[in-house]
Amino acid sequence: MQTISEIMTPNVHTIPPDAPIEKAAQEMREGDFGVMPVGDKNQLLGIITDCDIVVRAVATGKGLSTPVRDVMSQDVVWVREDATVEEGAQIMSEHQIRRLPVVDANQRLVG
């Protein structure tokens, strides 16, 4: 069976929790993606999406300098790199998500 580590995207770009949401939005635009892991030294702390920025920041009147940590989702669903692709697909289906952070045995973000 194929494992997650065989199909994941390695070296995922993260954003620090103290970065302003404006930087997150700019990086999402430049990279053409709508979700970014929030991390500190490969430690997965949360996820920020373009929807988080709009609904939790813009719609509530927060400024562009608002830290990512103030609008990110902290309850992150993830998968271990040694899980099977089927297990990863099941997690994604159960939680109705399209992106799934991958962590190693020490819960460090790897993909």
Q: Are 62 and 71 in contact (CB under 8 A)?
A: yes
Could you list the pLDDT tens digit for every one of the 111 residues in the chain?
999 999 999 988 899 999 999 999 999 999 999 999 999 877 899 999 999 999 999 999 999 999 999 999 999 999 999 999 999 999 999 999 999 999 999 989 999
Superfamily of segment(s) 4-103: CBS-domain (3.10.580.10)
pLDDT per position as a tens digit, 86-104: 999 999 999 999 999 999 9
Per-domain residue ranges of the chain: 4-103
What is the length of the chain?
111
Task: Give the C-alpha separation, 27 to 34, whole Å.
Answer: 9
High-pLDDT (> 70) share of the chain, %:
100
